Amino acid sequence: MAEVSGEDIAECAERINALWGIKVSRSGHERSASEAAANLMSGTGLLYESPELLEMLERAIEVGYAAALSHVEDGRYDDDIRDSWRTELFE
């Protein structure tokens, strides 16, 4: 595996923060995304990693979660929800 510099991590964190600003802070899903990220992070065993790395991972999870919630809100998964995932909601 290639060596990753502190500069590489800082650049990645900057890009994730920019995505967070677009996807999470404007979505109205900040709390849900934060809770989802906290739940995922609590089971990782990464307790002793640097705070910067943990924050970057948490924000990346929040970006994905908020994007997924936006897709659900937009109706992209209506057929899947109705026909496969939550059929009991439509009985």
How many residues does this entry show for the chain? Answer: 91
For residue 45, the model assigns a pLDDT of 80
Task: Give the type of residue at 45.
Answer: G
| pLDDT above 90 as % of the chain | 46
Q: pLDDT digit string (tens) for 11-46?
A: 999 999 999 999 898 888 999 999 999 999 888 887
For residues 52 and 14, the answer to whether their CB atoms sit within 8 Å is no
Query: What would you report as the CA-atom Rg of the chain, rounded to the nearest whole angstrom?
Result: 16
For residue 1, the model assigns a pLDDT of 62
| pLDDT above 70 as % of the chain | 99
> What is the C-alpha separation between 19 and 22, in angstroms, rounded?
5
> What is the C-alpha separation between 71 and 46, in angstroms, rounded?
30
Distance of CA 78 to the CA centre of its chain: 21
